[in-house]
Amino acid sequence: MPLRKQALLALALAALVALLAAAALLAARGSPVAGIALAAVTLAIAVAAADALWPAFDPGGTSLRAGRRDRAEVALTFDDGPGPDTAAVLDALDRAGVKATFFVLGRAAEAAPELVREAARRGHLVAQHGHGHEKLHLAGPATLAAEIDRGAAAIRAAGVEPAPFFRAPHGFKSALLRRALRRRGLVLAAWTRGVWDTERPGAAAIAERACARMRGGEILLLHDGAGEVAGEREPAPERRREQTAEAIPEIVRRWRAAGFRFVTLDRLERPPRAAGGGVAARLGGLAVLTLLITLGLRHADVRGVARALAGADPALLLAAALANVAGLAAQALRWHVLVRPVAPRATYGASFRALVGGYALGLVLPARAADPARAHLHARASGSPTATLLATVGLDHLTASFAFLGGLGLFGLFAPLPGWARSAAWSTLAVATAAAALAALLARREAAAAHAGWLARTWARLRGGLTAAGDPRVVARSLAAALVGWAAETLVALLCLPALHMPASVTVAVLMVVATTLSAAVSVSPGNAGVFELAAVVALEALGVDRELALAYALGFHAVHVVPVALLGVAFAARGGTRALTGAAAGAPPDQAR
């Protein structure tokens, strides 16, 4: 990703965090309606911007964004042609024995119809890219219809029937574009990796970018043109794509050496469509969050809460935030120890970035989205299957649960615990024990054969993620890291007490950790917002703390968790977007890439 785009992404994420912080401040200072309205408008704009400008963002799941990750397939796609170097690209593909997909511009097809015919004659897939490379995210129905239909007509006039795929110029899209494509029986096609060959960095650099972090189902975006007239005598250097043509042999060689085969988009096997329950879970989570905020504001003196927050000690809150970062580091180590047996090439840095990146995404996605998010991010870094890493996340939660129970039991020897805490501990022990027994049983099962069906292979990958459960030394190291993490979490809760002018009490801090940890088990709202505060307030009120002070503490305690995660997420994005979040590793071997 070019530096300019990295900077814009970082600026956008920073603006999002700043606006949400301003909304929280408005609500805390006695203007809850204005704060909620600002937060709602900010989130709505963020979702709309992501839908328009992020090619892979598709809440409905109707577009083609990637192939199946468990298949050793990769698709080469070329945009903006035909151009002066399309013939060289076709020749390079022929020599490599590869078929690709060409997203053709109508105006370029009108200028060089013979190249469109030649691409189809050689067995490549010819699809639509609009007519004049117009940005379509703000276009109205008439403009959309003209762009789609004129582009299709130009391809047909060249003697080729276009394939039912459409790639939006720049990846910019809208609900209106989706509707227009749906009416014409076209599928919106995105990509998994932009190679940025238009920067003309040289054939070697293009090949390196195209071959980094190999994994199944990749759709590579390259260019064979720039929308120019193919027959012009002296095209400007920046409009030439000869470097792309020169890079094709090396790209093909590396992917094939890693065990992959090249396919056109119509032959790329798509992953099964996610069930519609995901949208329902998001809406339900937001509804619960809204209800909790409304109830909280109705039964609390907002001005009293604001006064308590205004009088908070910023130095102690900063210390609590730093303790939370230390806790994140311990959590990442706890998980990394369990990941290493199934992903030997994984680094601790990749585990930390994936963990924090997952938590950062969980701040805006409800229903425990952080867990699959961190597994997916780590899969991009290590090349291991997402299902396998998702199983390590489950094992990580088990390790954390047993360390939590062990620490709570030790604490109970020195200080009395209220009845609700003891009941919660016994319930957690029962669930964790049953889950551990199931994990041990699954880990002993034999893996499915390579030719087995998709469901059997998925189960095999999930069982593979439980490998660490059979190694007592690995489990012991993970438990040790988990205990350090819980100690850091207790320190966070303890520092927040005097920060809000409450007596520093280890017992109260432990109870805050217990209450808020239990709230995470039933979290449906983004970032556990609302549920976290409710759990902390109920526990503090049971100890006789004034409701307004309890709510101020809950908000401060939650803030020192959320703010560092958000800032680290922005920092990782500024270092290079998704690749920085994932710590992408180049050249994973085939057994890790699939």
- Structural contact between residues 87 and 104, judged by C-beta atoms closer than 8 angstroms: no
**Strand ranges inside 18-98, DSSP E:** 73-81
Structure tokens at 333: 């180590």
**56 vs 50, 65, 89, 528, CA distance in Å?**
9, 6, 26, 25
Structure tokens at 250: 């090396």
> Does residue 79 carry a catalytic annotation?
yes
HEC profile of 383-417: CCCHHHHHHHHHHHHHHHHHHHHHHHHHHHCCCCC
- Structural contact between residues 219 and 192, judged by C-beta atoms closer than 8 angstroms: yes
- Structural contact between residues 97 and 136, judged by C-beta atoms closer than 8 angstroms: no
- Structural contact between residues 445 and 547, judged by C-beta atoms closer than 8 angstroms: no
- Secondary structure letter of residue 451 according to DSSP: T
Matching residue, tokens 């932009």 = 194
A 10 A CB-CB count for 157 gives: 13
- The three-class DSSP label of residue 332 is helix
Q: Which of 223, 376, 378, 558 is catalytic?
A: 223
Q: Which of 79, 80, 197, 396 is catalytic?
A: 79
> Does residue 223 carry a catalytic annotation?
yes
Please state the separation of Cα 332 from the chain's center in Å: 17
Nearest one of 222, 183, 209, 193 to 79, comparing CA atoms: 222
Whole-angstrom distance, CA of residue 451 vs CA of residue 164: 31
Nearest one of 328, 334, 342 to 382, comparing CA atoms: 342
Q: Which residues are known catalytic residues?
A: 79, 223
